[in-house]
Amino acid sequence: MKTVLIVEDHADIRRLIRMTLEFESCTIHEAGDVVAGMDAVKAWMPDLVFLDVMMPGEQNGLDLCRAIKSDPQLQRIKVFLVSARGGSKDQEQGMLAGADAYVVKPFSPMKLLELIGEPAEQL
């Protein structure tokens, strides 16, 4: 069973992602900002994180992605950035931050299922 963390400041989008993943074999945790997201990553050690890029506060999703990918204990975690910013420069910044995928909002629930469909040993 995969453990998934959703870090998103909008409750409706968290709910949409959670509802999409509930039919899969996933344990789902949520956080509403970057600070809570980092705490949750350390507490739950998820297999993957759906991470919003633009969030309130001093840090954004790119900062959290970089923190995850630069920590030897966390860097195995797959990070899927989710953002309304879909330009090539935005996507490039996401990939440079270490993201494993970049999903543009609005997204298809099927795209999320496709992303988590990788065998657990690849996560």
- One-letter amino acid for residue 68 of the chain: I
Q: How far is CA 26 from CA 7, 70, 116, in A?
A: 16, 25, 9
**H helix and E strand count, the chain:** 5, 5
Q: What is the pLDDT of residue 118?
A: 56
Fold classified for 2-122: Rossmann fold (3.40.50)
Residue ranges per domain, the chain? 2-122
pLDDT per residue, tens digit, the chain (123 aa), is 899 999 999 999 999 999 999 888 899 999 999 999 999 999 999 999 999 999 988 999 999 999 999 999 999 999 999 999 999 999 999 999 999 999 999 988 888 898 887 543 333
Question: Which of 71, 61, 42, 73 minimizes the C-alpha distance to 101?
Answer: 61
Edge-first strand listing for the sheet containing 26-31 = 26-31, 2-7, 48-52, 78-83, 101-104
pTM of the model: 0.91
